[in-house]
Structure 1
Amino acid sequence: MRFAYFLHLFVYVKSTELQFCETGQSEECGNDKGPNSRWSKEWSEYKSLIKNAAETYVECGHTSSGCSYCYDETIKKDLSPFADGISKETLDSAKTISRITKYQIIDGQLFRSKNCMFPFRCSGIEHFLLELVKDLPNTEFYLNTRDWPMAGRHFGSAVPVFSFSKTKDYWDVMFPAWTFWEGGPALGIYPNGLGRWDEYRKTLSSAAADNPWSRKESKVFFRGSRTSAERDPLVLISRKNGKLVDAKYTKNQAWKSSKDTLGEEPAEEVKLEEHCRFKYLFNYRGVAASFRFKHLFLCRSLVFHVGDEWLEFFYPSLVPWFHYIPVPSTADQQMIQSIINFAIHHDGIMREISENGANFIENHLTLNDISCYWKTLLLEYTKLLSFPISRDQTLIRIH
């Protein structure tokens, strides 16, 4: 999911004013057939990238037990720094991390540090571990429940710490976030978090059925707090052209004044199922990877994914230009304008990409796939432990 191969595609338009193509303007705004058309060169290159992605894409299969093959390479890559084995000394180096959580599986029973930094997050993780515990060998691992990864590569030797999200600058081993079961971000409209993934899949699939592509509003939509300035260009475009872009900032816990929402009062939060009314949905990272990403696909809308730095375990299996439209995190207003105009005037292609993304999430990101990932991860990880596991009496049993 690197963007270097397409950064050159985004160019500045000559006009200093943002100009958007609208349906019916193809001859004067965005017709990519003529050699002198405003965006003919970059639009042709976009289509080449889409064509190449479709021609080279290989669909993942499933095992006889229904486990997706899509994530095997992610597990292999995450564990590769520890290919020579994980000694007791190496593993114990993780326990120096503040408020890290230790887990053990001993004779089919699950044990954990007495105190978990975020109890609901631990509970969301333990749902899957308890399902699998009878089928797993004795093992132990350290797990980080913060949003931010903990084992930075610049600190020296690899440290095996499980985290839900990371960048290439961290050793952390990715695991499926607690939010697949519980412990998701609490918002005004979701005071108890987003809830179980399997249940919200049904909610979003129903909303998508109520809002098929042909009836979706041809508009870019985004709601979220200002956790990063990367989001500013889209919000500023919306303030200039609200007809085609509806992007506004909402409050977060750190909000104090309109300065925290780029000079305007915060907008109301919008439920994810309401996003399904729009054809084009933007996804930005938050503090780390965005919890909303997987949900947006199920609207069967076109997802624009901004930035490739932050990952969850399933991100590497999503293919840019086939499952979603990639946008660099450095994109300014002119860059974003170019790709939005392209989407507006290539409706059929965009619908196909939206279907590809939705089908991947529906077929390869079920609760069964989450359980399969945990099982494969722990089996492969445990093979690397070079010491016998002995019961840590300071841990409590989790039932």
Structure 2
Amino acid sequence: MFRPELSGVVAESAAPGADSAAPGVDSAAPNAAKTLVWGPGLDPNIVLPARFFFIQAVDRSGTNLTTSPGEKTFEVKIVSPLEHFTRIWIQVLDRQDGSFLVRYRMYASYTDLHVHVLLMDQHVAESPYILRGPVYHEGCDCPQLDGSVWFSHMHCPHSFPQIEQDMSLFASVDPDRNAQEIPQRFGQRQSLCHYTIKDNKVYVQTLGEHVGFRIFVDAILLSLTRKVKLPDLEFFVNLGDWPLEKRKPSQNIHPIFSWCGSNNTRDIVMPTYDLTESVLETMGRVSLDIMSVQANTGPPWAKKNATAFWRGRDSRQERLELVKLSRAHPHMIDAAFTNFFFFKHDESLYGPLVKHVSFFDFFKYKYQINIDGTVAAYRLPYLLAGDSVVFKQDSGYYEHFYSELIPWEHYIPVRADLGDLLEKIQWARDHDREAKKISLAGQQFARNRLMGDKIFCYYYKLFTEYAKRQVTEPKIREGMELVEHPGDELFPCSCLRTPVKDEL
């Protein structure tokens, strides 16, 4: 049999001290005193575009609820005693498993904040939670000057496997050499950004024709430098889909930061622009993010459609094969194209096109197929965060977190040519309990490793590890321009941090 033994699921973000619910008590009423509240959104030192924390409903006997007690069970109010009006948008998201994710976006900074978590007008756990200020909002340019303090406050993982792997190829980095050689090698044919961060200010020069995706890099760099002082560093970012550095490690490779890596290239991988934007714009202009998915996971597992589901465009040959499989086995696979672009001449063979389906409606199905597009399919973080099991195609492309995923624990692996897809779907149908366990493990991984705080941790760790390897001084090169922070005349920010004094 192709399936190894399943390993156990470890829930890193589970609330301390709570036991699993016993059979027959899932619908018990939550108890205000026993219910648990925790998370980074209760720490004034953790500044995020959307702060968040968790509520785990617990009944009178001290047992975690594992089904929803009702979407409106808990009420959250956030006020500042010194302000008549607080510009804070709050959402309480029911995760349908007895837990709730509370997120809030601040549009101004406050001296103090009081977070009230209520159950039928009764304070829950240790509510009200008092955030001793100042509590800075996302737009406030007030970096923590000691990076190790910020890193500790954020509870960042001490290591990221992908960063260690990528940095192992670069014992040293020479900004002067790179500034000369990389534009000559890639600048005419590719779209790059040349960045220097100096004194925590961001400078950039663009190379190439299609540089629109620069906005995502600018945005994360500005957001990060508002939160923590970065070391001086100089680096190049590839704005295209495909990773660029195809030389072997022994052939004088250049450090290029890319959204995606591959087995045949040596690029340094960042979180994708899609995931980065979803973190920066949570509760803003982006509706699909890891937190939103957690509140829109479709019907309970037993009521989901036991068919493998996929929608997308025709950006890879294997996608054509998937649609062909779906036509031959409609009782097993529901796959169709929403757009033809690359294989328009084959539209008559693989059409007709179908209407776009809301991503949240994907989770009406137990089985989700993740198949490469132009490069890696950037929807995988959101599929993992849902309540379905992911069938992931074996791929030469990878995102920043793939090396932490374990086949048969977080997802069901499928051959690159999809030759065993039908067999794997049938296995899942025949082993429903195991499939559900894999689904929950993938979901827990997304909740633990792909939320906004961990994305900021990743970027910070990546830049600091890179900066350590620089052997010449990063410089503001000719042609670079300062990337300005967006202004906020309505709610200006006063930074009250004390500068770090140099040791005598």
TM-score range, shorter chain: 0.7 to 0.9
1:196–1:271 CA distance, 2 compared to 1 (3 A): same
Structure 2 stretches lacking a partner, 5+ long: 14-39, 41-150, 485-504
State the alpha-carbon separation in 2 of the partners of residues 217 and 85 from structure 1: 52
1:271 to 358, 373, 385: 358
Report the CA distance between 1:231 and its aligned residue.
2.5
Q: What SS does structure 1 have at the residue aligned with 2:302?
A: helix
State the alpha-carbon separation in 1 of the partners of residues 10 and 247 from structure 2: 32
State the alpha-carbon separation in 2 of the partners of residues 201 and 316 from structure 1: 19
Matches within 5 A, 1:1-399: 42=1, 45-46=2-3, 49-51=4-6, 54=7, 64-69=152-157, 72-86=160-174, 88-90=176-178, 92-96=180-184, 97-98=186-187, 99-114=191-206, 120-133=212-225, 135-153=229-247, 156-182=251-277, 200-208=289-297, 210-254=298-342, 256-257=344-345, 259-260=346-347, 262-332=349-419, 335-399=420-484
State the alpha-carbon separation in 2 of the partners of residues 321 and 138 from structure 1: 42
Report the CA distance between 1:119 and its aligned residue.
5.3
For residues 157-204 of structure 1, the C-alpha deviation after alignment (integer angstroms, 9 at most, x for no partner) is 2110000112121111001122124399xxxxxxx9xx8778522332
Report the CA distance between 1:313 and its aligned residue.
0.5
Which amino acid is the alignment partner of residue 429 of structure 2? I
Which amino acid is the alignment partner of residue 234 of structure 1? L
Q: What SS does structure 2 have at the residue aligned with 1:321?
A: coil
State the alpha-carbon separation in 2 of the partners of residues 359 and 153 from structure 1: 37
1:67–1:205 CA distance, 2 compared to 1 (3 A): same
> Which protein has greater RCO, CA pairs closer than 8 Å, 6+ apart?
1
Report the CA distance between 1:120 and its aligned residue.
4.9
Q: Verify the 8 A CA contact 1:234 1:336 in the aligned structure 2.
A: no
- Percent identical: 25
Q: What SS does structure 2 have at the residue aligned with 1:219?
A: strand
Q: Verify the 8 A CA contact 2:313 2:341 in the aligned structure 1.
A: no
For residues 204-230 of structure 1, the C-alpha deviation after alignment (integer angstroms, 9 at most, x for no partner) is 22221x422122111110111222122
1:356–1:298 CA distance, 2 compared to 1 (3 A): same
Structure 1 vs Structure 2 CA RMSD: 2.9
Which amino acid is the alignment partner of residue 121 of structure 1? F
Structure 1 stretches lacking a partner, 5+ long: 1-41, 185-191
Q: What SS does structure 2 have at the residue aligned with 1:158?
A: coil
State the alpha-carbon separation in 2 of the partners of residues 263 and 198 from structure 1: 30
Report the CA distance between 1:295 and its aligned residue.
1.1
Q: Verify the 8 A CA contact 2:338 2:354 in the aligned structure 1.
A: yes
Q: Verify the 8 A CA contact 1:120 1:183 in the aligned structure 2.
A: no
Moved more, 246-255 or 355-364: 246-255
State the alpha-carbon separation in 2 of the partners of residues 126 and 50 from structure 1: 44
For residues 5-42 of structure 1, the C-alpha deviation after alignment (integer angstroms, 9 at most, x for no partner) is xxxxxxxxxxxxxxxxxxxxxxxxxxxxxxxxxxxxx2
TM-score with structure 2 setting the length: 0.62
State the alpha-carbon separation in 2 of the partners of residues 107 and 360 from structure 1: 36
State the alpha-carbon separation in 1 of the partners of residues 452 and 255 from structure 2: 25
Aligned length: 339
1:356–1:260 CA distance, 2 compared to 1 (3 A): same
Q: Verify the 8 A CA contact 1:122 1:178 in the aligned structure 2.
A: no
For residues 380-399 of structure 1, the C-alpha deviation after alignment (integer angstroms, 9 at most, x for no partner) is 10111110122213111112
More strand by share: 2
Greater Rg over alpha carbons, structure? 2
State the alpha-carbon separation in 1 of the partners of residues 285 and 399 from structure 2: 18
